[in-house]
């Protein structure tokens, strides 16, 4: 259906596709159909997590797809209840079993949970599992700069990726700049902010009209031109395909500047300092 996405370099000598397919709303029942469809559209980055409870279906979709496994970047995440040296290893083993895979391409700590304070020892175990070949790249999700600085200070290893909430109303420019300076690729979860009112704004719709694309495509292109990897999710085939079709147009500097004015500081998710996900 489409060509595959371009890639960005990671700080560990691997690469990552410029857009991913988020599976957070998929189930073990529909993932075996929708994952191959997304791959057919051109996606090569798949994002799941232990807490999504769909790794079995996502893995089946990967195996049943016509796309070679080596071409697919599979991401899953360590949930909060599994933080710790031994439990992190056990968690990856369970995820690999559910996925039916020998390795994952990217493994993220889903939330830092600073009150529990086991993210550093979890990270040390992830480094070891990467060195053993069970993981290709390791990263974080929802980490603040202080959390990342501590990982580097205590282990000497920076994340290849930090996945954060990012959308037009919450662009987190300073955090993205901090990560770019350290060679950490920023991924955006909820890149369309649940298709909120901002996508209906005259700013976004006018830009979309200029390029003959929908508002969601404008927002996704804004992420990509900002050097950020968006992870849109959908169970609707038309939207899955449209979300990938963002490489045939380019936003001007003036359009990017106009979109930057939509920052309202309105976040959807929890604060990494206090949010606890188990």
Task: Please check the confidence at residue 134 and state whether its pLDDT lies above 90.
Answer: yes
Lowest mean pLDDT among 40-49, 101-110, 267-276: 267-276
Task: Please check the confidence at residue 194 and state whether its pLDDT lies above 80.
Answer: no
The Cα–Cα gap between 231 and 190 comes to 7
The Cα–Cα gap between 92 and 83 comes to 11
- What secondary structure letter does DSSP report for 70? G
| Mean of all residue pLDDT scores within the chain | 97
The alpha carbon dihedral of 146, 148, 153, 154 has a sign of positive
Q: Is 103 a catalytic residue?
A: no
Domain layout of the chain by residue ranges: 7-195+227-235
Task: Please check the confidence at residue 2 and state whether its pLDDT lies above 80.
Answer: no
pLDDT in tens, 15-27: 999 999 999 999 9
251-255: list long-range contacts, CB under 8 Å, 24+ apart.
Answer: 251/207, 251/211, 251/218, 251/221, 251/222, 251/225, 255/207, 255/210
pLDDT in tens, 136-145: 999 999 999 9
pLDDT band at 195 (very low <50, low <70, confident <90, very high): low
Q: Where are the alpha helices (DSSP H) in the chain?
A: 31-41, 55-64, 85-99, 119-131, 145-155, 173-181, 202-211, 215-225, 237-244, 253-260
Q: Options 3.20.20.100, 3.40.50.1580, 3.40.50.2300, 3.40.190.10; which CATH number does 7-195+227-235 get?
A: 3.20.20.100
The Cα–Cα gap between 175 and 187 comes to 12
Residue-level pLDDT at 6 = 96
Q: Which of 52, 107, 119, 178 is catalytic?
A: 52
Average pLDDT over every residue of 121-129:
99
Residue-level pLDDT at 3 = 87
pLDDT band at 1 (very low <50, low <70, confident <90, very high): very low
Residues in the chain: 278
End-to-end CA distance of the chain: 39
């Amino acid at each position: 259906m489409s060509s595959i996405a371009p890639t960005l370099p990671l700080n560990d000598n691997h690469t990552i596709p410029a857009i991913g397919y988020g599976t957070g709303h998929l189930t073990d029942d529909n993932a075996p159909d929708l994952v191959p469809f997304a791959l057919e559209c051109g996606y090569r980055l798949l994002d799941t997590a232990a807490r999504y409870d769909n790794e079995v279906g996502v893995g089946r979709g990967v195996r049943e797809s016509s796309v070679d496994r080596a071409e697919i970047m599979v991401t899953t995440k360590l949930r909060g209840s599994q933080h710790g040296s031994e439990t992190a290893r056990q968690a990856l083993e369970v995820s690999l079993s559910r996925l039916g895979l020998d390795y994952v391409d990217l493994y993220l700590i889903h939330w830092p949970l600073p009150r529990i304070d086991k993210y550093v020892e979890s990270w040390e175990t992830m480094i070891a599992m990467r060195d053993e070949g069970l993981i290709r790249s390791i990263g974080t999700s929802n980490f603040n700069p202080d959390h990342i600085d501590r990982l580097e200070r205590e282990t000497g290893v920076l994340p290849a990726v930090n996945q954060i909430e990012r959308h037009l109303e919450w662009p987190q420019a300073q955090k993205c700049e901090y990560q770019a300076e350290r060679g950490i690729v920023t991924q955006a979860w909820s890149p369309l902010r649940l298709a909120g009112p901002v996508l209906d704004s005259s700013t976004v719709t006018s830009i979309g009209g200029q390029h003959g694309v929908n508002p969601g495509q404008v927002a996704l292109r804004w992420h990509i031109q900002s050097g950020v990897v968006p992870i849109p999710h959908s169970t609707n085939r038309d939207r899955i395909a449209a979300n990938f079709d963002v490489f045939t147009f380019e936003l001007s500097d003036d359009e990017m500047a106009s979109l930057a004015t939509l920052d309202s500081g309105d976040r959807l998710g929890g604060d990494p300092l206090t949010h606890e996900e188990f």
